Amino acid sequence: MPSKMIGITLGDPSGIGPEIIATTLVQLDTPTMERLHLFADACVVDRAFAQIGEVRPPHLVMTDLGALTVGDVPLGEPTAAGAAAQVAYLDAAMEVANDGRIHGLVTAPISKQQIASVGFGFPGHTEYLAARLGAERVAMMFVGPKLTVVLATIHIPLAAVPESLTRQAIIDATELAVMTMRERLGVARPRVGIVGLNPHAGEAGILGREEIETISPAVDDCRERMAALADISGPIVPDAAFRQALEGDYDVLVAMYHDQGLIPIKVVDFENSVNCTVGLPIVRTSPDHGVAYDIAGQNRARADSFGAALRLAIRMVDNASE
């Protein structure tokens, strides 16, 4: 049976995406290289390989959009042409994904500010991919060697979290976490910790009622729905939950909002943590960092997180095919 293909989108051509992709690809063996499909502009890709003293591998499958010259996208300088290209790479990948020709996608960093300037109507990759791939519910999951965290709410202002944090949002995030751990990451019965929102998990309502009115009922619902699939605990005091996970008490935590989950991940697993969009019909991963215009083209960007994202995408795709 042929190996399932993994797509890669170039991200911002003026950022570090091209060079971290090039740095990762030159380390791969031929069978792995032949599983990849890069969506990019060839001139930008070749510039990145030249920057690291290499040439583009002959076995790499690439869709060359042919819309740019290197002069259109100087390194470290965002441009309107580069913003449009970021969207075009994603659109091209979605056509191939919807045709069933790729089963996973690794996305290099985009600039949300830049793509918004050319009419990209989504807060980020997560919402775009859900819309283009027809996923009714998705969640952001971060997988690292030490912590795995899924978010109940994603790209919203902190002030909007209490209103957006519904019982159903917590149930959806937990169900997607359990499904992914079982079907993609090989954990037969995951131990799930659902984190509280307020200090001391609300201190019995003294420091907030979300735990009483929303989170605890969601935990009860999750236990009932997933009794045969997972061990679910919560609401856990937030300032203890991540330490407990690091000590091995939980396989995955469900965090209530973006920074609650992301700050611990970036403290302990920054170079090797991977962002996954769970709930899509294909695997999607990405490095856990941005476009880094300030170091683009200087051979200072580390490719560890992108390499981890690619390895995880391959592992998750292959686990699903067993």
Average pLDDT over residues 264-270: 90
User: pLDDT at position 272, please?
Assistant: 84
Q: Is 142 left (phi over 0), alpha (psi -120 to 50) or beta?
A: beta
CA-to-CA distance for 122 and 133, rounded, in angstroms? 14
- Tens digits of residue pLDDT in 146-200: 999 999 998 889 999 999 999 999 999 999 999 999 999 999 999 999 999 999 9
| Same fold yes or no, 1-135+280-322 and 137-271 | yes
CA-to-CA distance for 2 and 282, rounded, in angstroms? 17
pTM metric for this prediction: 0.91
Pick among 3.30.1450.10, 3.40.718.10, 2.60.40.2250, 3.40.50.2300: CATH of 137-271:
3.40.718.10
Q: Does the pLDDT of residue 315 top 90, yes or no?
A: yes
User: pLDDT at position 2, please?
Assistant: 62
Just give the CATH number of 1-135+280-322. 3.40.718.10
Average pLDDT, the chain: 94
306 touches 129 (CB < 8 A)? no
Q: Does the pLDDT of residue 37 top 90, yes or no?
A: yes
Query: Which token pair is 113?
Result: 């500010």
Q: Does the pLDDT of residue 1 top 50, yes or no?
A: no
Average pLDDT over residues 277-298: 92
Q: Is the peptide bond before 18 cis (omega within 30 degrees of 0)?
A: no
* Ranges of each domain in the chain: 1-135+280-322, 137-271
CA-to-CA distance for 252 and 254, rounded, in angstroms? 7
Query: Which token pair is 281?
Result: 């019909």
